[in-house]
Amino acid sequence: MRAIDRTWGMDFGKHLRSLNQARIVVAITVAIFVIASATLPGFLTSDNLIAIIRSVSVLGILALGMAIVIIGRGIDLSMVAVMAMSVAWYLQLLNNGCGDHAALALALAGVLAIGLVNGFLVAYADVPAIFVTLATGSFTFGFVRSQLIAQDAVMVPGDHWIIGLGRARPADVPADIYIFLLLAFAAFLFLRFTKWGRYVYYAGDNPMAARNAGMPVRPMLVLRYVLSSLAAFVAGLLTASSLQSINTRVVNSTLLYDIVLVAVIGGIGLSGGKGGVRNILIGAALIGILLNVMTILDIPQLEQNLIKSTILLVAILIDGLLNPRDEQTAQQGDI
């Protein structure tokens, strides 16, 4: 009798432990979705669902770039600055009468340069990623804002292809959504099926072991920061295409925390080596649905922040209770 009890207990414990953060967040998301569909008129319509995905597609693209860096045990705090300033400079060049190809090439070169600097400083100079990217982010903002552009907001010149991109709605779905899903699929293929993609996990889980096993740990690290910078540039272009301008004030907003929030709430541990594209989609879905429901309910801003942070705290708390830190994490510590 006692033996049976014990097995049942172990089974239940195992069951509980498999309820990791990602699954908890899925459960919360589904619950909100079902309740909203049943009670909020106009929630479960194709137009509203498209609007929900669209509201998080730029955030999702940024989070994909961030996820690749975080899984490799890093963090890129320069993403929002790169996103806003690269596109602002690009548009300013166009407004100054520079040719489209030349302007795009210059902006892209700037983006690659920041990704490379981030990567080199982290990989070869061994400076912690959090300091490197914080510094390059401020530098990017300060330099572009003071030297290269005239105002916080830069308009897209009329009849430019970026405006066409914003107006494009194949099958009545905005282009942002296609690009987000396409990039999510590409990131999935990269992380899942390419050699360097698999290496990201090994390097994130244990960089020393990965190096001893002969993986090119440092060049891979540089690549990840280049990828996150490119993701930021795409996110910036999409923002400009929809708003027909880019406002560099976004660098002062909470967008950077929201990117980390999407990754963390979806279950990508900041200690690296864990998670994937699926987690980003989960995190983005929760944030998107939550914001949509709160807007429909006309909940005041201050309470919205409270609700958002409470859900994050609950998810982290449950995860902490069910999945206590193992010895390895305890020794290495989080970033």
Partner 1 sequence: MRLKTLAAAAALAVAGFGLAAPVHAESDPGPAAYAQAMNGKKVILVPMAMGFDLAQGWAAVLEREVKAFGGTFETRDPNWSTEAGAQAITEAISSDPKPDVLIVMAPDLNSYSRLLKKAQEAGIFVLLIDNPANFAPDAYMGSDWTRLGALEAEAAVAACGDGSSKKIGLVQGDEVNATSIYQYEGIMKVLDAADGFQVVAKPVSNWDPTNSRTVTATMLQQNPDICAIIDFWDGDATGAAAAIRDAGLQDKVKLITTGGGEQTADCDMIENGTYHAVVMTELVREAGDMVAMIKYLLQSGVKPGEHSAHIYTLEQATTKANLRPDSCWNLKALQAMNQ
End-to-end CA distance of the chain: 46
Nearer to partner 1, 167 or 325 (CB): 167
Find the binding residues for partner 1 in span 21-50 (CB under 8 A).
Answer: 41-42, 45, 47-48
- Contact between 306 and partner 1 by CB under 8 A: the answer reads no
| C-alpha to C-alpha distances, 188 to 79, 204, 264, 284, 285, nearest whole angstrom | 20, 17, 18, 15, 17
Q: Which of residues 100 and 152 has its CB atom nearest to partner 1 in the complex? A: 152
Q: Is 253 one of the binding residues for partner 1 (CB under 8 A)?
A: yes
Candidates 245, 271, 323, 329: give the one binding partner 1 (CB under 8 A). Answer: 245
Q: Does 250 bind partner 1 (CB under 8 A)?
A: yes
CA distance 172 to 170: 5
Cβ-based neighbour number of residue 164 at 10 Å: 11
The reply on whether position 145 binds partner 1 by CB under 8 A is yes
- Regarding 248 and contact with partner 1 (CB under 8 A), the answer is yes
Separation of alpha carbons 51 and 60, rounded Å: 14
Tell the smallest beta-carbon distance from residue 285 to partner 1 (Å).
15
Half-sphere exposure of 26 (CA within 13 A, CB side): 11
Does position 171 interact with partner 1 (CB under 8 A)? The reply is no
Return the exposure string of 59-87: e unless at least 16 CB atoms fall within 10 Å of the residue's CB, then b: bbbbbbbbbbbbbbbbbbbbbbbbbbbbb
Which among 9-17, 53-61, 66-74, 120-128 is the span making contact with partner 1, rule CB under 8 A? Answer: 53-61
Residue type at 295?
T
Name which of residues 220 to 239 contact partner 1 (CB under 8 A).
239
Q: Is 55 an interacting residue with respect to partner 1 (CB under 8 A)? A: yes
Token output for 63? 């989070």
58 is a site residue for partner 1 (CB under 8 A)? yes
3-state secondary structure of 247: strand
The footprint of partner 1 (CB under 8 A) covers 41-42, 45, 47-48, 51, 54-55, 58, 145, 151-153, 155, 166-167, 169, 174, 239, 242-245, 247-250, 252-253, 291-292, 295-296, 298, 300-302
